Amino acid sequence: MKAYFLVFGALLAIQSMGQSRLRDSLYGGKIKADTGKTFVSKDTSRYVAPLRNEAVSSQPQPGEQNKPAGNNSNNTAGMIKLDESMPDSLNKLFYSKQKLWKRFIESNTQIISQAADDTKKVKKGSYQVDVEYEIGINGRITTKSVTCNPPNEFLTEQVTDLMKRAPVLSPPIYSDGKPRPLPATQPITIVKK
């Protein structure tokens, strides 16, 4: 029992001796104390991509039919390319919301394509629908215009209704640290068989 107390006492002495050495070197001037300064990195070498949405089509791409659904590497392809005015570190939320946008467009493209197959208002063929929109400072999407080539009133109405249900996104934050509205265009291809 005395041996335990002896070992315990020795350990306490060693620990307090180490703490006193640290304290002496800190206050003795050997180690500089933290002065409370905050250093901000001026590194702007990593920037993010400008908003460039991929074309979404209701038809599977060649070679995608045989791929398993859970292993589609094309879904991970980024819609955003490098832009020198949007620092990567400030736009993590922006990028995560862009993935949400891509899922929203892809799922609703299939729904619109199915509706086009079920109606006689759309002739057989391929239709290119371009949606011009703007992501506001509050993240709300404002539709500027919806154009269909070749013109089709039914598809234009369907996509206009789709844009009324658009998710709230995050505006990009630029190198000055402030968010700004971002105009963008989303191409959608609808194919009626």
What pLDDT score was predicted for residue 2? 74
Give the domain ranges of the chain: 77-192
pLDDT reported for residue 193? 82
Distance CA(70)–CA(90), nearest Å, equals: 30
Q: Residue 33 in 3-state DSSP?
A: coil
Pick the CATH number of 77-192 from 2.20.28, 3.30.1150, 3.30.43, 1.10.10: 3.30.1150
- What is the share, in percent, of the chain residues with pLDDT greater than 70? 60
Whether the model clears a pTM of 0.85, i.e. scores above it, the answer is no
Q: 14-29 in b/e burial notation, b at 16+ Cβ within 10 A?
A: eeeeeeeeeeeeeeee
Residues 88-138 pLDDT 10s: 667 788 888 888 999 999 999 999 999 999 999 999 999 999 999 999 998
Mean pLDDT on 152-156: 92
